[in-house]
Amino acid sequence: MRDWREGVRRVTPYVPGEQPGQARMIKLNTNENPYPPAPGVERALREMQAEKFRLYPDPEARMLVEALAEFYGVRPSQVFVGVGSDDVLAMAFLTFFNSELPILFPDITYSFYDVWAGLFRIPYCQIPLDEQFRIVPGDYERENGGIVFPNPNAPTGEELSLEAIERILDSNRGSVVIVDEAYVDFGAATALPLLEKYENLLVVQTFSKSRSMAGMRIGFCIGNEELIACLNDVKYSFNSYTMDQTALILGTAALRDREYFEKTRAKVIETREWAKTELRRLGFRFGDSKANFIFASHESVPAREIYQALREQHIYVRYFDKPRIDNYLRITVGNREEMETFFRFLEAWLKERLLSE
């Protein structure tokens, strides 16, 4: 007799950073924003009527799509929205990465890419970053079924210049190139201006980081109309109503307050730059992160040990037990007070730890 287990789609799932749920903790492990969403979001939430939930939401998510089109100066037909950028990326993998040729992405990058490739049975090839953890555009000049990378890259925070991105786009006009800009608002240049020249470019962004709405699950991408139409066909073949009523209303409210957005992202950038000087003072090495996290390695104490010591104090950072990066910590930039507590403990602990050697 056939065993049902033989017919199961076996996958190796993505492991998200933990959400410990403690009352008193400093959470610097999943790149959330330390500031609340724009005040207009809270107001819109209070004005919402549960009675409206009786009806299905707009499957075209017009309200949010139009607000995004206006904010970024593109046409609504160039915008696609999803349940976080994870949903948008998954949909894009399913839609555009559909050949026998391997898709390309860096060896050190967002660890969901190989998971989606596994789920959708997409062949892939991971291209090593150079010694300084940088993407080398020339390495992407080979036959492929598509290309994806974050800019800035995760978990390194390294920015790839627009010239380098353009080189990748130009030498791969036969493939869709996805630039995952989850962290772009913290100081890197967006690839959006390249859309005019490259019909194979898809730019993915999220409300989870710079708009402080990770809990709301809103992501989007911008590309040429034909790419977006292909994405919509796949979406409607999967789930017509990906965006719920709440996400549509609150996401739109967030976009209305440009000033708050500018102010909070500037505060994160300022705290990041200050945190870099503190980390340097304590003996850490790191690249020039343009994201809301710093990927750092201590000159003498193993990352795993520091991670454990912080954890015992209910200070959570991210540690990846993976080749090439197992001596690094990815530290999300919290607010100034959180970072001061973090550094106070770290400084005292490191002093004691180094004395005991």
**Residue numbers of the site for ligand PMP (CB under 6 A)?**
84-86, 110, 150, 154, 180, 182, 206, 208, 214, 219
In whole angstroms, how close is the CB of 211 to ligand PMP at the nearest point?
10
Q: Cα(103)–Cα(230) distance, rounded to whole angstroms?
A: 18
Q: Cα(293)–Cα(289) distance, rounded to whole angstroms?
A: 7
Residues 39 and 257 sit within 8 Å (Cβ to Cβ): yes
Residues 169 and 194 sit within 8 Å (Cβ to Cβ): yes
In whole angstroms, how close is the CB of 133 to ligand PMP at the nearest point?
14
Measured from the CB atom, the residue of 111 and 313 that comes closer to ligand PMP is 111
- Residue 147's alpha-carbon distances to 104, 143, 172, in angstroms, are 5, 10, 9
In whole angstroms, how close is the CB of 284 to ligand PMP at the nearest point?
21
Residue burial 1-38, b: 16+ Cβ < 10 Å; e: rest: eeeeeeeeeeeeeeeebeeeeeeeebbbbbbbbbeebb
In whole angstroms, how close is the CB of 124 to ligand PMP at the nearest point?
16
In whole angstroms, how close is the CB of 332 to ligand PMP at the nearest point?
11
In whole angstroms, how close is the CB of 3 to ligand PMP at the nearest point?
35
Q: Cα(285)–Cα(279) distance, rounded to whole angstroms?
A: 8
* DSSP for residue 291: S
Q: Cα(59)–Cα(219) distance, rounded to whole angstroms?
A: 15
Q: Which two tokens stand for residue 5?
A: 């287990």
Measured from the CB atom, the residue of 81 and 350 that comes closer to ligand PMP is 81
Measured from the CB atom, the residue of 268 and 350 that comes closer to ligand PMP is 268
Give the residue nearest to ligand PMP (CB). Answer: 84
- Residue 245's alpha-carbon distances to 57, 130, 287, in angstroms, are 5, 44, 41
Nearest to 84 by CA among 209, 249, 178: 209
In whole angstroms, how close is the CB of 152 to ligand PMP at the nearest point?
9
The SS3 call for residue 297 is strand
Measured from the CB atom, the residue of 298 and 318 that comes closer to ligand PMP is 318
Measured from the CB atom, the residue of 85 and 212 that comes closer to ligand PMP is 85
Measured from the CB atom, the residue of 200 and 208 that comes closer to ligand PMP is 208
Q: Cα(59)–Cα(241) distance, rounded to whole angstroms?
A: 5
Measured from the CB atom, the residue of 182 and 294 that comes closer to ligand PMP is 182
